[in-house]
Copies of this chain bind each other. A is one copy, B any other.
Amino acid sequence: MSTPLASLDVLEPEAIRRSVDAALDDFLTEKEEAAAAPQLPYLSGLVRDFLSGGKRIRPLLCVTGWRAAGGSGDDAGSVFRIAACLEMFHAFALIHDDVMDLSDTRRGRPTLHRTLAAHHAACRGPDEVEWFGMSAAVLLGDLALTWSDELLHSAGLAPVQRDTVLPLVSQMRTELMLGQYLDLHATGGLTDDVDATLNVYRYKTAKYTIERPLHVGAAVAGAGPEAMAACTAYALPLGEAFQLRDDLLGVYGDPAVTGKSRLDDLRAGKNTTLTALALRGADAGQTALLRRLLGDPLLDEEGAAVVRGLFETTGARETVERMIDDRQRQALHALDHAPFGADAVGALKRIARMATARNS
Contact = CB atoms under 8 A, between A and B. Distances in A.
A203 interface: yes
Interface string A134-156: 01101101110111011001000
A150 B128 contact: no
Dominant SS among interface residues on chain A: helix
A100 B138 contact: yes
A17 to B, nearest CB: 26
A146 B128 contact: no
B136 A181 contact: yes
A118 interface: no
A1 interface: no
Interface string A7-46: 0000000000000000000000001000001011001000
Contacts of A256: none
A147 B99 CA distance: 22
Contact of A128 (B37, B153, B188): B188
Contacts of A150: 170
A182 B39 contact: yes
A142 B145 contact: yes
B138 A177 contact: no
B146 A39 contact: no
A46 B34 CA distance: 37
A107 B128 CA distance: 26
Given A143-B174, A146-B173, A189-B123, A99 B138 contact: yes
Interface string A158-173: 0100000011001001
Contact of A188 (B31, B124, B136): B124
A270 to B, nearest CB: 13
Contacts of A188: 123-124, 128, 132
A184 interface: yes
Given A100-B138, A139-B100, A170-B150, A181 B145 contact: no
20 contacts: A37-B182, A37-B203, A39-B181, A39-B185, A43-B178, A43-B181, A123-B189, A132-B184, A135-B184, A136-B184, A138-B138, A139-B184, A142-B145, A142-B177, A145-B146, A146-B173, A146-B174, A147-B174, A153-B166, A153-B170
Interface of A: 31, 37, 39-40, 43, 92, 96, 99-100, 102, 123-124, 128, 131-132, 135-136, 138-139, 141-143, 145-147, 149-150, 153, 159, 166-167, 170, 173-174, 177-178, 180-182, 184-185, 188-189, 203
A-B pairs, top 8 by smallest CB distance, nearest first, are A100-B135, A146-B173, A150-B170, A143-B177, A153-B166, A37-B178, A135-B184, A128-B188
